[in-house]
Amino acid sequence: MRNSEHAGFQEAYNMSVKNKVVVITGASSGIGEASAKLLAKNGAKVVLGARREEQLKAIVADIKGDGNQAVYKVTDVTNPEDVKQLVALAKTQFGGIDVIFNNAGIMPSSPISALHIKEWDAMIDINLKGVLNGVAAVMPDFTSQKHGQIITTSSVAGLKSFPGAGVYGATKFAVRNLMEVIRMESAQEKTNIRTVTLYPGAINTELLNTISDTATRSGMDDLYNAVGIGPDAVARVVNFAVDQPENVNVSEFTIYPTKQG
């Protein structure tokens, strides 16, 4: 192998979590919190966004207390300007951005016939438009620097249909399509933007707290109590994805509890 070829090969493979700047939405609990702490432990510089300031403040204090780097900004992903400012904080504080993890989401599942229309709107605004706002916030930087990674939390409800989760699943199916199209378009445009879509199963987080439909909540509680696992399982997958070299796109991960059928 010629020296120039060897140098290019090494550059492609010398990537890791260490020193990457990672913006995370929905970072005040669950998968977002677990991912932030693991990435920071492994040397990433994390920028946390969510609506609950006290939780964000405590998480950042924990990360800094361990000698790692983190900042936060109160962020409502339904507000495009909020997400832009979160990305701007990453650039001001850490000099750039390498990854955005669009993790904010809600799951007020119910039968369509129950007509919880306000909850439908909220899911579309957060689960879909919130992701689009994240994409829009990083796309100019990722395009100009010709690298970047967009990680987004979908759901197993984005892979197959579940009664009681029609609108929730619709938002998660949409995210699945969006991420793959971004990956394909970036390859065509030679901007090297990588995408990762996560499909978690029964992961024990605060997500069930958003379900107002009594019958649906009861069934979900039974499932999660029987088979649910902690958000660290997803955080390890996020860390793996961020750790991949720039010439590798690991695009989809389904994360089930072993006991979940």
Position 15 scores a pLDDT of 58
57-96 tens-digit pLDDT: 999 999 999 999 999 999 999 999 999 999 999 999 999 9
124-162 burial, b at 16+ Cβ within 10 Å, e below that, comes to bbbbbbbbbbbbebbbebbeeeeebbbbbbbbbbbbeee
Q: 188 burial class (0-12, 13-18, 19+ CB within 10 angstroms)?
A: exposed
Residues of the chain above pLDDT 90, percent? 91
Calpha distance 238→236 (Å, rounded): 5
Contact 37, 232 (CB under 8 A): no
Among candidate residues 13, 72, 168, 256, the one labeled active-site is 168
107-121, 165-179, 186-200, 207-221: which range is least confident on average?
Answer: 207-221
Position 3 scores a pLDDT of 42
72 a catalytic residue? no
Q: Give all domains of the chain, ordered by start, each with its CATH number.
A: 17-254 (3.40.50.720)
